[in-house]
């Protein structure tokens, strides 16, 4: 009961806040009565209290995400396991906060799809070439740009031939 009272008091006090402070690594958007007003940079910004103005923020410095490994098959039938590391930063805070639902997940899911399609449409020898990673990088960068994200680098943290457990068991090695 006391916890709910404290939460209620904090919510009431929150209605009287007439400023927002953004850190050097943040950018934000000001929303007034449900409508976008402007983007915000670091520093103090005066807002209309009583929940008339709402400030949404996100971290815009580069971040790296190590995506989980994918088991795929190349066009010539070689089973591979690939994991991708992607480095990116928010380029357009308005797009990221107001036009994309969970930009990090959108970027990761799109990367999985683009890598999967590229590998399944290529031969094993092709995916081992540096040009292959560069072509995937360009595709991912182009897609992410439309969501307000700048992809700075991608790399294969792991790219190896894989033998399925079923085939391994059938061969008598296990």
Q: What is the pLDDT of residues 77-119, one digit of tens each?
A: 999 999 999 999 999 999 999 999 999 999 999 999 999 999 9
Domain that holds residue 91: 63-166
Q: Band of the pLDDT at 158, cuts 50, 70, 90? A: confident
Per the structure, the count of domains in the chain is: 2
Query: Could you tell me the sign of the dihedral formed by the alpha carbons of 118, 122, 126, 127, in that order?
Result: positive
80 lies in the same domain as 148: yes
- Give me the DSSP letters along 120-143: HTS-HHHHTSHHHHHHHHHHHHHH
- pLDDT one-digit tens code per residue, 34-64: 999 999 999 999 999 988 999 999 999 999 9
46 lies in the same domain as 69: no
pTM reported for the whole predicted model? 0.83
The confidence score (pLDDT) of residue 170 equals 56
All residues at 6 or more sequence positions from 60 whose CB lies less than 8 Å from its CB, including other chains = 25, 26, 27, 89, 90, 93
Q: Are 85 and 158 in contact (CB under 8 A)?
A: no
100 lies in the same domain as 150: yes
Task: Note whether residue 131 is domain-resident.
Answer: yes
Q: Are 52 and 44 in contact (CB under 8 A)?
A: no
149 lies in the same domain as 110: yes
Q: Which of 8-12, 22-26, 144-148, 155-159 is least confident?
A: 8-12
- CATH number of residue 98's parent domain: 3.30.479.30
């Amino acid at each position: 009961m006391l916890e709910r009272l404290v939460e209620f008091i904090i919510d009431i006090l929150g209605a009287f806040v007439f400023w927002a402070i953004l850190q050097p690594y943040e950018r934000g958007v000001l929303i007034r009565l449900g409508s976008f007003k402007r983007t915000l940079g670091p520093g103090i910004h005066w807002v209309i209290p009583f929940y008339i103005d709402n400030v949404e923020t996100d971290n815009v410095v580069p971040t790296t995400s190590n995506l989980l490994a994918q088991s795929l098959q190349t066009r010539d039938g070689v089973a591979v396991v690939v994991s991708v590391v992607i480095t990116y930063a928010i380029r357009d805070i308005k797009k990221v906060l107001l036009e994309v639902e969970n930009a990090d997940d959108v970027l990761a899911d799109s990367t999985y799809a683009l890598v999967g399609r590229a590998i399944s449409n290529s031969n094993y020898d092709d995916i081992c070439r540096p040009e292959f990673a560069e072509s995937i990088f360009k595709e991912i960068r182009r897609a992410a740009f439309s969501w307000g994200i700048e992809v700075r680098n991608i790399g294969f943290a792991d790219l190896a031939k894989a033998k399925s457990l079923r085939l391994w068991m059938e061969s008598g090695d296990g």
